[in-house]
């Protein structure tokens, strides 16, 4: 079961940009809780709490219980906006989730045991095709991360989504068996393998060119020799 984190909040009055600016001037972060066919709840948060939670990996995959005026809302973070200059949080959106809710959520991909990988020991390179994977999940079953074990992977191996074990009832939003990670040969090795092929191709291209140049040279020699032969033949005729 997913860990449920707690956040303290205060109710706020009024919606719109003007009301949100007033909350920020008071040193708080405006936020809203919506979903479950219930009227949105307008709240404000301590900016220190927001920054602490937002800086943790997997912020959007963690469940929170937000306490507002004695009432607890179970929510999932959906969006956070930051000031473009000072990077302070300006607004947070939370989605209210119930016992039967299913949500779409992006989960980060992490790798482990890189030091044990035979492919990496031979100079291979990890190509992480997908840094996050979108899942359908019950809120309490959302994994904080998707772990790929590199311990047995060699150059040329790849990992597809169907090979990754997910919690029961959790499924990718994409039905096909897509690639998540591949172990590629190092670029230096690829260049070394490509060099003989390139040299052979250049040699094959140069051979016809040399053959075409030879007849042209012979034709030029024949034209140059013709006047000399004619001049030699004239004195012989007078005799």
Would you place residue 236 in the very low, low, confident or very high pLDDT band (cuts 50, 70, 90)? very low
The yes-or-no verdict on residue 27 having pLDDT over 80 is yes
Cβ-proximal residues to 103 (8 Å cutoff; 6+ apart), any chain? 76, 95, 97, 136, 137, 138, 139, 142
The yes-or-no verdict on residue 182 having pLDDT over 80 is yes
The burial class, CB within 10 Å (0-12 / 13-18 / 19+), for 157 is middle
Two tokens, residue 88: 């302070």
Would you place residue 4 in the very low, low, confident or very high pLDDT band (cuts 50, 70, 90)? confident
The yes-or-no verdict on residue 221 having pLDDT over 80 is no
**d(C-alpha 62, C-alpha 184), whole Å:** 33
Q: What is the 3-state secondary structure (H, E, C) of the chain?
A: CCCEEEEEEEECCCCCHHHHHHHHHCCCEEEEEEECCEEEEEEEECHHHHHHHHCCCCHHHCEEEEEECCEEEEEEEEEEEECCCCCCEEEEEEEECCCCCCEEEEEEEEEECHHHCHHHHCCCEEEECCCEEEEEECHHHCCCCEEEECCCCCCCCEEEHHHCCCCCCCEECCCCCCEEEEEECCHHHHHHHHHHHHHHHHHHHHHHHHHHHHHHHHHHHHHHHHHHHHHHHHHHHHC
Cβ-proximal residues to 128 (8 Å cutoff; 6+ apart), any chain? 109, 111, 180, 181
The yes-or-no verdict on residue 120 having pLDDT over 60 is yes
Two tokens, residue 103: 């949500």
Two tokens, residue 135: 């899942």
The yes-or-no verdict on residue 190 having pLDDT over 80 is no
Q: CA torsion, points 214, 220, 221, 223, in degrees to nearest 10?
A: 150
The yes-or-no verdict on residue 231 having pLDDT over 70 is no
The CATH T-level fold of domain 4-96 is Ribosomal Protein L25; Chain P (2.40.240)
CATH number belonging to domain 103-188: 2.170.120.20
Give the residue from 70, 90, 75, 65 showing the smallest Cα distance to 38: 75
Token look-up 């449920």 returns 4
The yes-or-no verdict on residue 233 having pLDDT over 50 is no
Would you place residue 13 in the very low, low, confident or very high pLDDT band (cuts 50, 70, 90)? confident
Q: Where are the domains of the chain?
A: 4-96, 103-188
The yes-or-no verdict on residue 211 having pLDDT over 90 is no
The yes-or-no verdict on residue 213 having pLDDT over 90 is no
pLDDT at 43: 96
What count of other Cβ atoms lies within 10 Å of the Cβ of residue 75? 25
Q: Contact at 8 Å (CB) between 133 and 160? A: no
């Amino acid at each position: 079961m997913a860990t449920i984190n707690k956040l303290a909040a205060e109710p706020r009055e009024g919606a719109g940009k003007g009301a949100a600016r007033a909350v920020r001037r008071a040193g708080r972060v405006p936020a809203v809780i919506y979903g479950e066919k219930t009227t949105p709840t307008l709240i404000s948060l301590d900016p220190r709490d927001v920054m602490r939670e937002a800086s943790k990996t997997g912020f959007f995959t963690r469940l929170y219980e937000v306490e507002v005026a004695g009432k607890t809302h179970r929510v999932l973070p959906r969006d956070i906006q930051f000031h473009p200059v000072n990077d302070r949080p300006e607004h947070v959106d939370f989605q209210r989730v119930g016992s039967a809710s299913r949500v779409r959520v992006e989960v980060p991909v992490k790798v482990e045991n890189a030091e044990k990988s035979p492919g990496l020991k031979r100079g291979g390179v990890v190509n992480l095709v997908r840094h996050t994977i979108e899942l359908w999940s019950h809120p309490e079953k959302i994994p904080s991360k998707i772990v790929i074990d590199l311990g047995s992977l060699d150059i040329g191996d790849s990992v597809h989504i169907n090979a990754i074990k997910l919690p029961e009832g959790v499924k990718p939003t994409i039905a096909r068996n897509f690639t998540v990670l591949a172990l590629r040969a190092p670029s230096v090795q690829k260049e070394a393998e490509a060099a003989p092929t390139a040299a052979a191709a250049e040699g094959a291209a140069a051979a016809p060119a040399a053959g075409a140049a030879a007849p042209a040279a012979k034709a030029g020699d024949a034209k140059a020799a013709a006047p000399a032969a004619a001049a030699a033949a004239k004195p012989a005729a007078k005799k």
